[in-house]
């Protein structure tokens, strides 16, 4: 038990700024993270389920088209055609730029967990009398949990004494 406690409190706590991340955002062409650490979902069923959850919760996504971005929501997942539909943005110029882009980068933060994925060029479709975008499902969807604080070394005797005192109080 003491070895487990020692392990928990032996790593350093370091403040990380919002701009610094555990994983670089640079990706290699095959979709892997540049540093070799990979938190990617590749199973199409998992990707569909995750996107369907975003649609159900009506979470917002930022879609970067190269020279700017729009804010949108996932509207529908079509498992038969291996596509998903997302809503038009608020501004006509941004929507036109999305249609012209060869590659789109999506980003969301459901429950504080950053999600990133890329797709190819979307198509404009009509859905329920409104205009929307349709695009192929991503091949990889990255979920990145970022912490603001990391463990730091402490005077372990303080924690051991505290835990020992708690144990005595619980057993009494």
Contact 89, 108 (CB under 8 A): no
> pLDDT of 2-58, one tens digit each?
444 333 333 333 333 333 333 334 343 344 444 445 679 999 999 999 999 999 999
Tokens representing residue 84 in the block: 């998903």
Instruction: Give the pLDDT confidence score for residue 141 in this predicted structure.
Output: 96
Contact 94, 69 (CB under 8 A): yes
pTM over cut 0.85:
no
Task: Indicate the number of domains in the chain.
Answer: 1
> pLDDT of 86-126, one tens digit each?
999 999 999 999 999 999 999 999 988 899 999 999 999 99
> pLDDT of 154-163, one tens digit each?
555 555 666 6
Tokens representing residue 152 in the block: 């730091």
Contact 132, 84 (CB under 8 A): no
Domain assignment of residue 71, yes or no: yes
Domain of residue 43 covers: 39-148
**CATH code for position 110:** 2.30.110.10
Contact 39, 144 (CB under 8 A): yes
Total count of residues recorded for the chain: 172
């Amino acid at each position: 038990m003491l070895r487990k406690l020692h392990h928990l409190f032996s790593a350093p706590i370091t403040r990380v700024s919002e701009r610094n991340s555990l994983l670089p955002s640079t990706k290699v062409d095959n979709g892997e993270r540049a540093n070799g650490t990979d938190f990617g979902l590749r199973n199409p069923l998992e990707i569909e389920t995750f996107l369907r959850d975003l649609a159900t919760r009506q979470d917002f996504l930022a879609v970067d088209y190269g020279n700017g971005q729009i804010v949108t929501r996932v509207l529908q997942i079509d498992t038969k055609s291996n596509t998903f539909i997302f809503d038009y943005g608020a501004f006509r110029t941004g929507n036109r730029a999305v249609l012209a882009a060869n590659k789109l980068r999506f980003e969301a933060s459901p429950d504080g967990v950053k999600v990133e994925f890329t797709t190819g060029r979307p198509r404009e479709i009509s859905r329920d009398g409104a205009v929307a975008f349709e695009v192929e499902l991503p091949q990889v969807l990255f979920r990145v949990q970022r912490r603001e604080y990391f463990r730091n070394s402490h005077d372990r005797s303080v924690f051991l004494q505290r835990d020992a005192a708690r144990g005595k109080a619980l057993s009494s």
